[in-house]
Amino acid sequence: MADTRKIVLEVLRYTPGQSTAPTLQQYPIEFTDDMSVLQGLQQVKDFVDGSLTFRWSCRMAICGSCGMMIDGAPKLACRAFLRDFLPGPLRVEPLEHFPIERDLVVDISDFVDKLGRITPWIEPREPRSLEQGEYLQTPAQLERFESFSHCINCMLCYAACPQYGLDSRFLGPAATALLHRYNSDSRDGAQAKRMELVNSEEGVWACTAVGYCSEVCPKAVDPANAVNQNKTASAVSWFARFLPGRG
Amino acid sequence: MDGWWRRDPFFIRYMAREATAPFVAAYAIVLLVGIVSLARGADAYEEWLEALASTGWIVAHAILVAIFAYHTYTWFQIMPKTMPPVVVRGRRLAPEVITFAGIAAAVLASLALWILVAYGAP
Ligand code: SF4
Ligand code: FES
């Protein structure tokens, strides 16, 4: 290999049923300047230890499956470069706050369940027949929610959220960002239903505005903004009860 | 999760930000006492001013100014995350612009107040 350098990967290993506790295993590797942490792990898996388990697919920061703790911070392994962690050793661990399934693979069922509960689709504000044509939207209306639709469900924000770590009932950053994406879509009419979740015990009030979720997000979704905008929405809907004519 | 906030410098800065908040609240009470004494008459107000001119209070003020400066800085840093998008000519205003505008406004307001107190109202 041209121009290779050396670094030691210190990878968390755990096999439920076999290991009693997670252990760290060291893998010295050679790498070139253009190699990502994911490529480092793949090199280990292909040539050193085929039992090392991790998730990946796209290799270009779009599928959201390679999230892990890299040097203690939640990152996409395909977007982090080995050259930035010299001299090493580079600690690679599974995403914080999720149960380990095996090695670097975590059990994501809690997040998937949360996604299902936010009504993640548009329920038309007004029924239209095919003859009436499509629902139109201005660029300004699109601008209100577009960035929140960029989420790739990588869950880095959940690994970054101490409130989710302390109590995983909290709906959390990405699910709230997606909820906000639909709630601020001019074509949608299911706001009242979603606000019930926003206002609930597991809703936005568990957030203390740490803001690290937005910091680690690889897609600049700014989930902290979605959560905090919904604190305002939640407060407004609470006070609105006292207006005449409201339930 | 014990000691979670010591794991990352970001969390330490967050905890420092939160720790400054009680001082802001406490000082609001000090100012409130000032307003109450003003309402009670010139003598009570002079007494309050005199109390604040003591060495202890001057030292406290020096420390509090530093605490408030950090609080202000972090407050405007988090502000873009707490507000709805500000759309200017069809584009969302960048968070940095909002943070800068907030800090600039705080600095200008403090300067204006300083000049007003030091040189009297025009
Ligand atoms: S909001 Fe960002 S960090 Fe969170 S899951 Fe979506 S893309 Fe990942
Ligand atoms: S492999 Fe798809 S995001 Fe990294």
Task: Report the distance separating Cα A210 and Cα A215, nearest Å.
Answer: 10
* Residue whose C-alpha is closest to residue A181's, from A219, A136, A148: A148
* Cβ–Cβ gap A222/B10 under 8 Å: no
Q: Residues A16, A102: contact at Cβ < 8 Å?
A: yes
Tokens of B70: 């950090």
Mean pLDDT over residues A148-163, rounded? 97
Which three-class secondary structure state does DSSP give residue A179?
helix
pTM of structure: 0.90
Q: Which atom belonging to ligand 1 lies closest to the Cα atom of A220?
A: 2
Q: How many Cβ atoms from other residues are within 10 Å of residue B23's Cβ?
A: 16
Task: Report the distance separating Cα B24 and Cα A33, nearest Å.
Answer: 49
Q: Which CATH topology does A109-240 take?
A: Fumarate Reductase Iron-sulfur Protein; Chain B, domain 2 (1.10.1060)
Which three-class secondary structure state does DSSP give residue A16?
coil
Give residue A55's pLDDT.
98
Tokens of A88: 């090493």
* Residue whose C-alpha is closest to residue B8's, from A64, A228, A161: A161
Mean pLDDT over residues A50-73, rounded? 97
Ramachandran angles phi, psi of B76, nearest 5°: -75, -25
Ligand (nearest to CA of A74): 1
- Give the structural domain span for B114: 4-119
Mean pLDDT over residues A221-228, rounded? 95
Question: Dihedral of CA B89/B94/B99/B101: which sign?
Answer: negative
pLDDT band at B72 (very low <50, low <70, confident <90, very high): very high
Q: Residues A56, A66: contact at Cβ < 8 Å?
A: yes
Mean pLDDT of chain B: 92
ipTM entry? 0.82
With 70 as the cut, is the pLDDT of residue B121 above it?
A: no
* Cβ–Cβ gap B8/A147 under 8 Å: no
With 80 as the cut, is the pLDDT of residue A4 above it?
A: yes
Q: Which CATH superfamily is domain A5-106 in?
A: Beta-grasp domain (3.10.20.30)
Ligand (nearest to CA of A112): 1
pLDDT band at B122 (very low <50, low <70, confident <90, very high): low
- Is the CB–ligand 2 distance for residue A41 below 6 Å? no
CATH of residue B42's domain is: 1.20.1300.10
Model confidence pLDDT, tens digit, residues B2-57: 889 998 999 999 999 999 999 999 999 999 999 999 999 999 999 999 999 999 99
Task: Report the distance separating Cα A68 and Cα A97, nearest Å.
Answer: 11
Q: Residues A233, A227: contact at Cβ < 8 Å?
A: no
End-to-end CA distance of chain B: 57
* CATH 1.10.1060.10 residue window(s) in chain A: 109-240
What one-character-per-residue DSSP string does A62-83 give? SS---EEEETTEEEETTTSBGG
Model confidence pLDDT, tens digit, residues A175-210: 999 999 999 999 999 999 999 999 999 999 999 999
* Residue whose C-alpha is closest to residue B8's, from A12, A234, A160: A160
What one-character-per-residue DSSP string does A114-157 give? HHHHT--S--BSS---GGG-PPP--HHHHHTTGGGGG-----HH
Of A28-37, A65-74, A115-124, B110-119, the range with the lowest mean pLDDT is B110-119
Mean pLDDT over residues A146-159, rounded? 97
Give residue A1's pLDDT.
53
How far does B29 lie from chain A, in Å, by closest CA?
A: 24
* Cβ–Cβ gap A225/B11 under 8 Å: no
What residues in A contact B18, CB-CB < 8 Å?
A: 208
With 80 as the cut, is the pLDDT of residue B65 above it?
A: yes
Give residue A88's pLDDT.
87
Tell the burial category of A96 from Cβ atoms under 10 Å away from its Cβ (0-12, 13-18, 19+): buried
Of A15-19, A21-25, A129-133, A224-228, the range with the lowest mean pLDDT is A15-19
B91 touches chain A (CB under 8 A): yes
Number of domains in chain B: 1
DSSP 8-state class, residue A188: B
Q: Which residue of A has its CA nearest to B86?
A: A144
How far does A162 lie from chain B, in Å, by closest CA?
A: 7
* CATH 3.10.20.30 residue window(s) in chain A: 5-106
Which residue's structure tokens are 């204006």?
B112
